[in-house]
Amino acid sequence: MKHKQITIAQALEKIQSGMTLMVGGFLANGSALTLLNALAESDKKDFTVICNDTAFADKGVGRLFAEGKVKKVITSYLGTNKPSQDQMHAGTLTVEFVPQGTLAERIRCGGCGLGGVLTPTGTGTLVAEGKQTIHVDGRDYLLEKPLRADIALIGAGKGDATGNLVYLGTAQNFNPLMAMAADLVIAEIDELLPVGAIAPEQVHTPAILVDFIAE
């Protein structure tokens, strides 16, 4: 049985400038807040970040934008983080807007080894620019390609030392999908439980998908 516990400092050592990061959470709910705050205070930069939203400028993934650590973001929403908006307008941050459901499906495709997903969302709009349109049964669909990352930073309410994770309430959001779609998965958990304390049917993300746990 492999125990995967590491410190926040050890987790930071695994993240290098220029990497593509998936960051779980919805307006910081379900995010690896301690790890993200430490990353914002580090000298690492030039990240491509895949996240549902840029959250708040003083918390979690939002701090990466406030500190100018991100060169590109693939997201569905910037509305609560003014630094990310300002950087987009100034041209210092490349923004790829993706409808929220499409974003979730692209990440799922990345985790499941699929070639993409067909969706009518965005047809006939700016979202469709540069994308392949496929006609099926009298209707046009956009081919939205899969997303993967070098590292996924996951926030979980509970977990054990092997990496089995349980998300509390709506903290599931993007975390289970992202845990499948990155080469390395680091989970920050709020409560460490003994191995065997989590019933198999209660596990949201199984240990096989998690490389390291930062408590």
User: Domains of the chain: which residue ranges?
Assistant: 5-214
Q: What is the mean pLDDT of residues 139-168?
A: 97
Q: Which two tokens stand for residue 138?
A: 């009298």
* 215 band by pLDDT with thresholds 50, 70 and 90: confident
Is the per-residue pLDDT at 148 higher than 60?
yes
Q: pTM of the predicted model, to two decimals?
A: 0.96
Contact 10, 188 (CB under 8 A): no
Edge to edge, what strands does the sheet with 133-136 contain? Answer: 117-119, 139-144, 133-136
Q: Residues 6 or more apart from 185 whose CB is under 8 A from it?
A: 151, 152, 154, 178, 179, 209, 210, 211, 212
Fold of 5-214: Glutaconate Coenzyme A-transferase (3.40.1080)
Residues constituting the chain: 215
Mean pLDDT over all residues of the chain?
Answer: 96
* 36 band by pLDDT with thresholds 50, 70 and 90: very high
Is the per-residue pLDDT at 99 higher than 70?
yes
Q: Give me the pLDDT at residue 147, please.
A: 98
Is the per-residue pLDDT at 1 higher than 60?
no
Taking only the tens place, the pLDDT of each residue in 180-200 is 999 999 999 999 999 999 999
